[in-house]
Amino acid sequence: MKNIAIYGAGGFGREVACLLNIINKKEPTWNLVGFFDDGKEKGYFNEYGEILGGIAEVNAWTVPLSIVIAIGSPHVVEKIVNSIDNANIDYPNIIAPDTIFLDKSHFFIGQGNLVCPGCLFSTNVQIGNFNCFNGFITVGHDTRIENFNSIMPAVRVSGGVRIGKRNFLGVGSAILQQIKVGCDTVIGANSVVIRSTKDGNTYVGNPACIVKY
């Protein structure tokens, strides 16, 4: 079994610890050594392991270690990845055993992605790096998803969609076919995107429209 740590010791981090246990029950793969979290006291224990420190401790780690990032904010995930400077660290894809691939030979994925239970990927799907698929998500055929996107539970991505970087797709939202979601976009819960979005905006409703806060 390979040593792994979870970056992020909040509720989602604890869920990812449960996912690692599910993976291990099917095939022993991961030895969870603990959590890294810049906002929690080093040495504190939750029900799944110890807080090992923050970014300084990651960069001082002296032996090989896999890290999975369990944080919902795309911008925070990107900041953490850019702050880690340690050749001992690698970023595996953590994929729930019940994930459905309609054609795995035409499914392409980078590194550091997290796929929670209940997800389905159609044919000719390409995924970049450090994306979070937070459960019961469907991704349609010929879709391209770049890096650092957080896709919340029950999102529906139709065929031929293009999703750029650092987007947050809220619970139950839907992206219709051939739509382009660029970068730094927030899609509100249960919103339906029927037109390509403009970068850096928040969209809410059905049909989804820009809102300003």
Residues comprising the binding site for substrate? 72
Provide CB contacts within 8 A for 121, sequence distance 6+. 99, 100, 101, 102, 107, 138, 139
Taking CA 30 as the corner, what is the angle to CA 53 and CA 43, rounded to the nearest 5 degrees?
Answer: 20
Query: Taking the CB of residue 85, how many other CB atoms lie within 10 A of it?
Result: 9
Active-site entry in 141, 156, 162, 180: 141
CA distance 89 to 96: 22
Q: DSSP readout, 128-154?
A: -SS-EE-SS-EE-TT-EE-SS-EE-TT
Binding annotation: 72
Residue 141 bears catalytic tag: yes
Length of the chain: 213
**Site of tokens 């010929």:** 142
Q: Which amino acid type is present at position 13?
A: G
Let me know: does 167 contact 74? Beta carbons within 8 Å. yes
Return the active site residues: 141
